[in-house]
């Protein structure tokens, strides 16, 4: 998906900071899906290992919920 300037839409969080401050090596993130995204659009979700160090992901869960507060 491209924004109005023709650039890819990219959203992210720093997993490393989240894990370093976690007591149980867990990380949880929440993102709002931009209004530009349509139901028929594809979304790619990836992890970037910028340091190239060995990591182990035991589980990953992706959930989409409706924002009931707005």
Q: What is the pTM of this model?
A: 0.52
- From first to last of the 70 residues of the chain, give the pLDDT tens digit: 667 787 888 888 877 777 778 888 788 878 888 887 888 887 788 888 888 888 788 888 888 887 767 6
SS3 of 13-62: CCHHHHHHCCCCCCCCCCCCCCCCCCCCCCCCCCCCCCCCCCCCCCCCCC
Longest Cα–Cα distance of the chain, Å, equals 41
């Amino acid at each position: 998906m491209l924004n109005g300037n023709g650039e890819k839409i990219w959203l992210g969080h720093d997993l490393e900071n989240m894990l370093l401050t976690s007591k149980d090596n867990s990380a949880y993130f929440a993102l709002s899906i931009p209004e530009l995204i349509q139901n028929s659009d594809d979304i790619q979700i990836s992890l970037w290992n910028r340091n190239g160090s060995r990591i182990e992901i035991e589980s990953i869960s992706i959930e989409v919920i409706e924002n009931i507060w707005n």
